[in-house]
Amino acid sequence: MSKLFDQSLRTASARHRAVVRRHELIHTVAEFVISLASVIGSALVLVDGLTVSGAWVLLCVSVLLAIRPASRLLLELHLFLLPLDPPAPASVALRMNEKHP
């Protein structure tokens, strides 16, 4: 039985692997946006007259940081809810384990 945060679910099927790749892309883009907004907010705080705007940008960055754990949790829920491929019939499994001369 599969569980949340079970690493074997990441490669359980082709569909599972595709979901992981898609979530990794979304997570990477979100990380880049958060980093860029953090740099911009920090720069704005240093400029006279734009300190309040910079503080607001940094506040938004703080809210955006919630994307990271939410993204991970959504990935795990998605993987958990995907159906697993049915196991191969016993006759096929036995043939796969046979050694050929």
Question: With left for phi above 0 and alpha for psi between -120 and 50, is residue 12 left, alpha or beta?
Answer: alpha
Does 97 fall in a domain?
A: no
> For residue 98, what pLDDT is reported?
58
The tokens for 87 are 């196991």
Does 100 fall in a domain?
A: no
pTM for the full predicted model: 0.69
Cβ pair 15, 85 in contact under 8 A: no
**Residues 6 or more apart in contact with residue 79 via CB below 8 angstroms:** 2, 6, 9, 10, 12, 16, 19, 20
Domain of 70, in residue numbers: 7-84
Does 74 fall in a domain?
A: yes
Per-residue pLDDT of the chain (101 residues; tens, 9 = 90+): 568 888 888 988 899 999 999 999 989 998 999 999 999 999 999 999 999 999 999 999 999 898 888 989 999 999 999 888 766 565 555 555 555 55
* Number of domains, the chain: 1
Does 93 fall in a domain?
A: no
Does 89 fall in a domain?
A: no
